[in-house]
Structure 1
Amino acid sequence: MVGLLEAPHGDLVEVATAALVEGADLAADGDWPAAVPDLHLHVGVGAAEAERWFADLARRAPRDRPRAVMAKSVGAGVRTAARAAGVALVAVHPLARWDSVLPVVHRLLDGSRRQAAAPDLAATDLFDLARIVARDAGGMVSIEDAQSRVLAYSASDASADELRRLSILGRQGPRDYLRALREWGVFDRIRASDEVIDVPAHPELRTERRLVVGIRGQAGVLGSIWLQQGDRPFSPDAEEVLRGAAAIAAHAIARSLAAPSTEAAQVQRLFGAGGGGVDVPSLAAALHLPQTGAAAVIGLAPHGPGSAVPGSSLRLLASALRPDALVTALGERAYVLLPGYTSAAAVTAWTRRLVAEFETRRACVLRAAIALPVPDLGAVAAARTEVDRVLDGAAFPADRVTTLAESRTAVLLGEVLDLVAEHPELRDPRVDALTAHDRDHGANLARSTAVFLAHHGDVRAAATALAVHPNTLRYRVRRAAEVIGVDLTDPADRLLLELQLALRDRTWLSRGR
């Protein structure tokens, strides 16, 4: 996936933080967070702008420079400029997907933090495990999650086939080979048992022989370990090695799913997860964020049950917008903190592009709520609560993006209706009587009265909305008032009836009527 090209200060350079950087970020003079990330991943940055940026870095103090850069544009001019700036340069494979590179970087950094925090514990790093399995079983190893995304891998040699190269780079393998795996029942056998499966070579598709075993936990299949045969045969005990590795990997993956990384846990606390107070100064220092200064908080929820926001893709896009952006997932929802943003127009425009991209490229339909300006880090948890209120109850526009300010009325009205619904004694039995009358007589008095009240008593406008004659609407409203015994000229009666009819309509909608 990567290769070291330049290391002006040697290859033992400490890297603790990483961020995606786009060309627009390089052009933003001095617009950087208080602590510059140690590692920059240059996404879509051309050679000419990279050379100019490195030349500018050479004139800055060391504390204002990253320690290393990963990039795809790494020609001779870029290498020379990086060397002159004293920044290590790492080449990224041209076919590698950035949304595959970034998670690997974060997994490696987090594994390093855990080893530093608890060096006496047995090593469970998946990259170490892949290297050991490759050495003991004889071959090249890839460890994948339940969605066939590569989590870790061992070193490759010249005998690595196209399937291995593409999967490590974050790209799907040959479709014909994946079809063959399904026809051979390989995926079904991985899900059904803990046996080691021998997958034969496929000369027509230029794939080599493989052994694969499922990684199984209490909740089912957590992933799989693939061992590709290289220039020499597998070791005699290769199957035993794979079974043992699957058990170790199951513990590691289950632990990582149950307990988020140190940084992830800090971010979740910042957003108010887990309860209790937050030491904002310590958290700001740990996350390399300015403690004060306005920001924006965005909440995203899937449009419909049974799905979740793709966190890794969201983190990629948010980091591309702002290197110090923070992303966390809590349940099926995800939240973004954009430090330094106070313009509602700019944040709303970016969020609309984000929602549109998820729908067109990933078939994931989202709703988004924005709170801004958030005055400082201490107010992030409260902002998350506010966007949750919007996501819970607001009526969203066609583009499914709204701000807290735009939705205040809808949110408060929805919560008032929720409170009334929770207390049966606050329900007006006269509305139930009107509903029963409509059901028994095939009438439409309740709906007609609700539309009449929504149009502030404008008979012609309400009749147009209902597609009926004004005289028909006048009769229905008069008849409704007679059935339930209210005076629609009385402001209190009108207010109460409109609220109760709105509650009725919400209840009927929730029942699918």
Structure 2
Amino acid sequence: MNNSGRPLSLGGLLGILGAPLLTPLTGAAGLESSISVPVIHDHLDTLPETPGGILLLVGVQPQDPGFGELLVRAAENGYSAVALKTHGQPPESGIHDSAPLPVIQVDDQVPWLHLDNLITAVTSGRPAGSASAESYGQDLFVLANALATATDGAVAIEDLDRNILAYSNLERHVVDPLRRSGILARQVPDMEKNIDQYRSVMLTDTVVHFPYDPSDGELPRCAAPVRAGRQMLGSIWVIEDKEPLGPEAESALLEVSRLAAVHILRAQNAVDLERQVRTEWLRSALDGHGSDPATSARFGLMEGLSPVLLGFMFASETAVGAGAPPLPLTRQLGIAAEQYCSIFHANVSALESGRVVYVLVPAIRSEAAALRLASGATAALGARLGHQVNVAVSSVGESPGTVADLRREIEDIIGVIERPEPGREIAQVVSTRDVNAALLLRQLTSLLGNQPRLIHPGVHELLDHDARTGSEYRASLCAYFAHTGDMAAAARSLNVHPNTLRYRVRRATELFGLDFTRGDDQLALWVQLRLAESAAG
């Protein structure tokens, strides 16, 4: 939402980023449509449904066969625009004039990753009902252009990590290779001399000037720190092309640095508030309270899309240290898991609950896609945090109302992960499909515990006899059933002679009135004995 209460529009985005970075090829039609997130197109993947998305057509040309059909599918899937590069070729106006949604031309020199980061920076981190990423991003870009006009030099506004938050785009200003590469990568190149320059800026409250560097062609420039009280937030840099800044220009630079501090703080607070609101919404959804459709849609959860829930947890208590509270490292896991999943999917929400981090992906194509995401996450997070991470993967949900059911499914899977069957190893990525038998047995254990009359009287007698006399009728019958009646294999598993096992099976039928000549009776008896075996273990 912007200050007028309207969502960020495509025209608003173009106004912020400006030409020649983005140029509409279809005129003004559709520029009033609301936008959400950028989505990179892969022709081998199914086109995801992304309401308000901007589809980045990497490697696609207007002359390609099927281009018109791709535009139609993008419009049907809710996209507000598509973006492409023409690589010096003239666009075919006949296609664009009749396009079902706006087509935006991207400057050929701009890397796709940089464009994706730019659009994400403008569209992310806006709290509901207040100033949005549009206003924050626009304010910083407007400040950069205003300062560039006042100082007659190219301007860049950076954060403490030397990420470029905004920059001037006035064509008359000269730039050098350092400025150009920084803008394209959205980050200042990592050079040893930059460390000394930034240290000089951070230690002063005034403007610091740096001369021309003939070794790499860096033009003379000056910089001022961006602070909020004692808190350092970043810096502002101006290229001094013709001559050093005079007193009035330096005053303008210092004034803009104070204004930039306000906008950077507001942007950071907006991101924190958005994360908090998103977390509380997810907590409510996982608890089964739900939310109104508009609120759910704001976080990407809508009818017709298939959500999936992931449950991340460390493989053992040693990840947090003996006796140490798990929360700090779990918080790191939550941040890392959310960041990783957000690389591949839009509108990802995360919530830390005890030792488990829940990550909701509101739209995913299939169970296989969810498993691929989880597998990649275990490797990346394990390497990043230094501890093995396990992931429970839910089924693919059918609607927003199934989120609470997905949480119960994750909890059931985690129960199996934490208490695996004896002799069975659990993989790092586990879905219901992998532990279906264990989940079914747990449910049946609960059922039989609440309904003891469902247990065959002979099973009670057999278990009591084993407990009193030390006999092994339960283990013998379970081995017999597990090996589908193969006496030799079952006897080997028990380390007894086959004749001994035959005798035990026969005596069990005589002593306890058990009859398993029919398949249903055999299944029911095996389940009851198997559950007793689990309880005993």
Bin the TM-score by the shorter chain.
0.5 to 0.7
Contact 1:18 1:39 in 2 (8 A): yes
- Compute the displacement of 1:71 (Å): 2.8
Separation in structure 1 between the aligned mates of residue 157 and residue 314 of structure 2, nearest angstrom: 29
Structure 1 residue identity aligned to 2:308 = A
2: CA distance between counterparts of 1:235 and 1:54?
Answer: 54
Give the Cα separation in 1 of the matches to 2:370 and 2:116. 23
Percent identical across equivalent pairs?
A: 20
Q: Does 1:20 align with 2:39?
A: yes
How many Å separate the matches in 2 of 1:125 and 1:276? Answer: 40
Whether 2:344 is the aligned partner of 1:317: answer yes
Matched letter for residue 3 of structure 1: L
Contact kept, 8 Å, 2:147 with 2:252, in 1: the verdict is yes
Provide, for residues 447-499 of structure 1, a one-character-per-residue CA deviation record: whole Å limited to 9, x for no partner. xxxxxxxxxxxxxx9xxxxxxxxxxxxxxxxxxxxxxxxxxxxxxxx99998x
8 Å CA contact retained: 2:213, 2:219? yes
- Say whether residues 1:345 and 2:358 are aligned partners: no
Look up the match of 1:209.
220
Report the CA distance between 1:203 and its aligned residue: 1.8
The Cα of 1:350 is off from its aligned counterpart by: 3.3
Retained in 2: the 8 A contact 1:302–1:309? no
TM-score (norm 2): 0.59
Superposition deviation, residue 309 in structure 1: 1.5
Return the alpha-carbon distance in structure 2 between the equivalents of residues 340 and 11 of structure 1.
31
Asked if 2 retains the 8 angstrom alpha-carbon contact of 1:23 and 1:45, the reply is no
Q: Work out the CA distance in 2 between the residues paired with 1:192 and 1:389.
A: 55
Unaligned stretches of 5+ residues in structure 1: 319-324, 414-460, 462-493, 499-513
Q: Is the 8 A contact 1:263 1:287 kept in 2?
A: no
Distance 1:348 1:82, change over 3 A: same
Corresponding position of 1:327? 348
Aligned letter for 1:7?
L
1:380-459 matches, within 5 Å, as: 380=403, 383=406, 400-403=428-431
| 1:52-201 matched pairs, under 5 angstroms | 52-57=65-70, 66-72=79-85, 74=87, 76=89, 79-80=92-93, 81-85=95-99, 87-96=102-111, 98=113, 100-109=114-123, 125-157=139-171, 159-170=174-185, 173-175=188-190, 178-182=191-195, 184=196, 186-201=197-212
Residue of structure 2 in register with 1:248 after alignment: 259
Instruction: Name the residue aligned to 2:450.
Output: none
Deviations 1:122-166 (A, max 9, x none): 998222222222222332221222222111111154511111121
Residue 294 of structure 2 corresponds to 282
Does 2:310 align with 1:298? yes
Deviations 1:391-413 (A, max 9, x none): 89956989743347758979xx9
Q: Distance in 1 between matches of 2:98 and 2:387?
A: 44
Distance (whole Å) between structure 1 residues aligned to residue 182 and residue 112 of structure 2: 10
Matched, 1:41 2:56: yes
Residue 193 of structure 1, CA deviation: 4.6
Q: 1:301 to 1:192 in 2, by over 3 A?
A: farther
- Are residues 65 and 377 of structure 1, via their aligned partners in 2, closer, same or farther at CA, if it must alter by over 3 Å? closer
Unmatched runs of 5 consecutive residues or more in structure 2: 1-16, 320-328, 443-492, 494-532
CA contact (8 A) 1:198 1:211 kept: yes
Contact in 2 for aligned 1:198/1:210 (Cα 8 Å): yes
Query: Is the CA contact 2:288–2:403 (under 8 Å) kept in the aligned structure 1?
Result: no
Corresponding residue pairs, total: 405
Q: 1:220 to 1:58 in 2, by over 3 A?
A: closer
Distance change in 2, residues 1:180/1:62 (3 Å):
closer
| Structure 2: distance between partners of 1:170 and 1:380 | 38
User: Is 1:51 aligned to 2:64, yes or no?
Assistant: yes
| Structure 1 residues 215 and 17, CA gap change in structure 2 (3 angstroms) | same
Aligned to 1:465: none
- Aligned-residue offset at 1:110: 5.7
User: Higher relative contact order at CA 8 Å, sep ≥6: structure 1 or structure 2?
Assistant: 1
TM-score by length of 1: 0.61
Question: 2:306–2:362: 8 Å Cα contact kept in structure 1?
Answer: no
Find the residue that maps to 1:260 and give its secondary structure. Answer: helix
The question of whether the paired residues in 2 share the 8 Å contact of 1:142 and 1:226 is answered with yes
How far did residue 336 of structure 1 move? 4.3
Query: Closer, same or farther in 2 for the Cα pair 1:347/1:242, shift >3 Å?
Result: same
- Mapped partners of 2:405, 2:230: distance in 1: 34
Distance 1:367 1:296 in 2: 16
Counterpart contact for 1:97–1:169, Cα < 8 Å: no
Pair 1:168–1:357, CA change in 2 (3 A): farther
Distance 1:334 1:139 in 2: 48
Change in Cα spacing, 1:18 to 1:388, as seen in structure 2 (3 Å) is same
Distance 1:370 1:117, change over 3 A: same
